[in-house]
Amino acid sequence: MIALLQPARLYIGNILNHYDFASLSLKSGLRNNLSSLGYEHMTAVQAQALPRILDGVDLIAQAKTGSGKTVAFGLGLLQKLDVKRFAVQSVVLCPTRELADQVARELRKLARGVHNVKVLTLCGGMPFGPQIGSLEHGAHIVVGTPGRVEEHLRKGNLKLENLSMLVLDEADRMLEMGFQATLDAIVEKMPKQRQTLLFSATYPDEIRAISKRVMNKPELLQIKEQHSASTIAQSFFHVKDNTERAEAVARLLLEHRPDSAVVFCNTRRDTEEVAAGLRDYNLNVVALHGELDQRARDQALVCFANKSISILVATDVAARGLDIEELDMVINYHIARDAEVHTHRIGRTGRAGAKGMACSLFGDRETQKIERLAEYGQLQIRPAELPSPAVLSAPGYKPAMACIQLDSGKKQKIRPGDILGALTRDDGVAGKDVGKIHIFDNCAYVAVRRNVADQALRTLTAGKLKGRSVRVRKIR
């Protein structure tokens, strides 16, 4: 029987001063590290979930990405971790490699105050052999995608007899992506006596069903987000057909010219068509959907995150778990099929008190969706007027940054400091003109101000990295 808790309501921009991390019974190392990281006050999901997690109950927490749930379950599993017992004690499953990497980074940051905690990522799209070697050396916490974790379990590389906590992060997306049978196979290999935490942005019937199979008398915690007009300006625009719909996206972007915008589409085909149409207006845009190979996906996400691409056109599944800061604008090409998904989409902008815009397009066939959305969000939805068609003749705009790819990465022992040093030495570019640096196994990406991109390319081509020449190119 699931115990239903009174749903909590959180408004974006609220500061929960009365929820203090110091009020929790945490290990001194964790508590001191939180202070050094500047974490003092808990978000709503942390304040309501953490006491229950620390008490050992199984918990279903419905909360959107960006609500602070990683810190909630991260502190819970680190509090219970026995560092002296060098065996896998916690597994965190995520729908995508990007989210798994993001979660692993956050866990390592939270664990700095605890000596010698080893966090290992096991994701598809990465070489299998090195992961076997890492497992042989041992780990306390495994963060991974269901397919790769199940494969290591099936081949006997991953042992879970000492497991005490399982976390299913973005569980609704894992089920949408067809991982139900894989999740069942993983859980079957786990001890029955364990704590299970399930985090999901929505709460469909599939979540209820899987919770009954894998959890023990779970409690349900629902953090329903209402977006404040003071941080997110939300507008709705009526369109007659798909031709006008595609043009409306271009008009909104050319009118407002956001540095960073996501256009949400319901299908892969729409993402490709919308992205192609926007390129006709000389806009820097990339499409992101589930059928991209891992290298193309990595490059798309890096270029959007480092601000060398202004516009990302994506499906919900592809965009889940993105670690994107300062998103100026969200455009819904179609209204989301579910009101909760709509709320999740627009919640990606206007974070941390920043201003954001959310623009949604709808046609005559989407009237019922609009009515459900208005009821769910207690909104009065009145169609706004689109920017003038004259804006379509305005020149497209370029992002502030350009991206350079280097054909060397972690396996060649390349670090961010090496790339920064190579760019700024002698008569190179100024440090203030260098942006984000992302390093993968065999390649790396660095963002530089667009006006110094050619100089940066010449500097890297003429110089050496770790004592050897490296092939470099500018991402177009």
333 and 275 fall within a common domain: yes
251 and 220 fall within a common domain: no
384 and 410 fall within a common domain: no
Say how far apart CA 223 and CA 138 lie, in whole Å. Answer: 36
Say how far apart CA 253 and CA 249 lie, in whole Å. Answer: 6
Task: Please choose, from the candidates 96, 121, 130, 115, the residue with its C-alpha nearest in 3D space to the C-alpha of residue 33.
Answer: 115
* Number of domains composing the chain: 3
Residue where a domain stops, chosen among 226, 247, 269: 226
3-state secondary structure 201-228: CCCCHHHHHHHHHHCCCCEEEEEEEECC
Say how far apart CA 252 and CA 387 lie, in whole Å. Answer: 6
- The CATH number linked to 469 is 3.30.70.330
Residues 161/191, Cβ–Cβ less than 8 Å = yes
273 and 198 fall within a common domain: no
368 and 288 fall within a common domain: yes
80 and 10 fall within a common domain: yes
pLDDT for residue 420: 87
Report the chain's terminal Cα–Cα distance, integer Å. Answer: 55
50 and 194 fall within a common domain: yes
pLDDT one-digit tens code per residue, 371-386 = 888 887 777 888 899 9
pTM: 0.62
- Output the CA–CA distances (angstroms, integers) from residue 80 to 28, 35, 166, 281, in the order listed: 13, 20, 12, 54
pLDDT for residue 53: 94
pLDDT for residue 14: 35
- The CATH number linked to 289 is 3.40.50.300
pLDDT for residue 351: 60
pLDDT one-digit tens code per residue, 167-189 = 999 888 888 767 888 999 999 99
209 and 271 fall within a common domain: no
pLDDT for residue 350: 65
332 and 453 fall within a common domain: no
Q: Which residues contact 219 (CB under 8 A, 6 or more apart)?
A: 2, 3, 5, 52, 57, 58, 59, 60
Residue where a domain stops, chosen among 206, 226, 246: 226
459 and 319 fall within a common domain: no
Tokens of 343: 């709320």
pLDDT for residue 469: 86
Q: Which residues of the chain have pLDDT under 50?
A: 1-18, 226-227
Residues 78/110, Cβ–Cβ less than 8 Å = yes
Residues 12/234, Cβ–Cβ less than 8 Å = no
pLDDT for residue 324: 64
Residue where a domain stops, chosen among 354, 374, 393: 393
What is the residue range of 342's domain? Answer: 232-393
Say how far apart CA 327 and CA 260 lie, in whole Å. Answer: 5
Tokens of 467: 């004592």
Say how far apart CA 301 and CA 293 lie, in whole Å. Answer: 12
296 and 434 fall within a common domain: no
10 and 115 fall within a common domain: yes
pLDDT for residue 3: 31
